[in-house]
A and B are shown apart, each in its own frame.
Chain A
C-alpha cells in the first residue's frame, strides 16, 4: 500500500486581506510525483514556500491544514521546522548561480547542510557529499567540492544543488522551475537526471513549472493552477489527453510544440490576473472562450471523480468520449 506523505487541505494563504492561495487541496503519496503548472503569479511558488514554512514577511497561512507524515506543520516549532527543512522536504531552486554563497566553496556549503542534519564525522560527511555528486553524474567530485560557485557552469551547479538536496535524504523533493535558468540542451540533461534519481532514490517530488514538457517528463500527476487555485488535477495522461478545464486546454493549445511551419503561435487573450485578485466568479472567465452568465456570478466548485478534479461550470456538459478540441 502506498502511504500518504503530504496532505494539503483547504489551504488559504494571504498577504493582509489579499488571498494568494485559495482553498488549495492536494495529496501526495510516497514515491509519487506531482507537477504544479501555471502562469506567473498563479501561486505555484507560494505553495512551495508554505510547505517549507518560509513565506515572505507579511504573508501567512490563514486557514487550512498542511499535514506531512501525520503531523500538522502549522503547529510546528522553529526547532521542528529546522529538522523538517532539508531532511523532510528539500528544495531545488530556479537559479543555481545564486543559490550558492559566492564566498565559499561548494564543498563547504554541502558540508554545512549535511552537518546540520547528520551527526557524522567530517570524513563521512565528505564521503556522503562525494557519493551524491557522483549520483548526479559529476565524476570529478573531489574537484567540484573544492570549486567556488563561479568556477562551475549553471548546469554543473544545478547538478550540485540536486546532489545537495538528495544528500539530506529528503522524503519530498520540491523542484521550483529546476530548468528555467538553464539553456535548452542542459535543461534536457537535468530533466533526465532528475527522472533517473527520482526512480533510484524513490523520493516523492513536487515539480513547479510553467512548462508542460518539464512536468509531463517528471510527474505522474498534474495540477493546473490559476489565480491561487487548482483548476484542474489528475493523472498526467488524463490531463494532457483529455483536458477538462478551458484554461488547461488553452494552455496546451499554446505550446510551441503544436506549431506547424508557417503557423502563428496560439495565445490566450488577455493577461493573467495579478496575484491576489478577488473575483465574484471564475477567475479565468474574462479570458475564457466558453464563458456564460454563471461564470461571472459564482466561483465554480471543484468536481471530483475518479482521481480527476476540475473547477468549471462547463464540466457536466462533457462526457469523456466527446471531448474534442
Chain B
C-alpha cells in the first residue's frame, strides 16, 4: 500500500500537468474563442479542492517560470513573470488559495462554485493590475484601463464556465467513486 504522502506529491504533479495541457485548449465560440489558463486554473481548483488545487497551481507557475511553454499560447519563461503581465501569473496562487478555501468552507455546489470562480477571476485581475501599475510606472487608473477593463467581461464568462463544468466533472467523478484525493 502506498503512503498518502507520495501519492499526494505525484497527484499534485499531475494536476500541474493537467493545467498545462488545458491551458492550450480552445473552445471555439463565435467572436471570441474561449482559451487558456484562467479557465484551467478555475477548473483544477474546483475539481481538486484547496490543497491539491493550490499546490498544482503553484507547481504550474514554477514550470512556466523555468521556461516550459505552459502559459497561454505556448509561452513561458521567467520573462513572462517579471514582465508587465507577470502579476496575473503570480495572482493565480492567491486566487487558487481563496477559491479552495471558499469551496471547502461552503461546499462544492453550483452556486458556490460560481461565487468562488467569479471572485477568483477578480483576484487574478486585481493582482495583474497592481503589478502593471508598479512595473510600468503607471497610475492605478491607467493600469486598470490597460490591464483589467478589456478582459473583465470575458473573464467573468470564463468564471461561469469553469464553475459549471468544474462542479459537473467533480460530481461525476464523485458519483463514480473515482475522485481519489488522498
Say whether A associates with B: no
Q: Which residues of B contact A (CB under 8 A)?
A: none
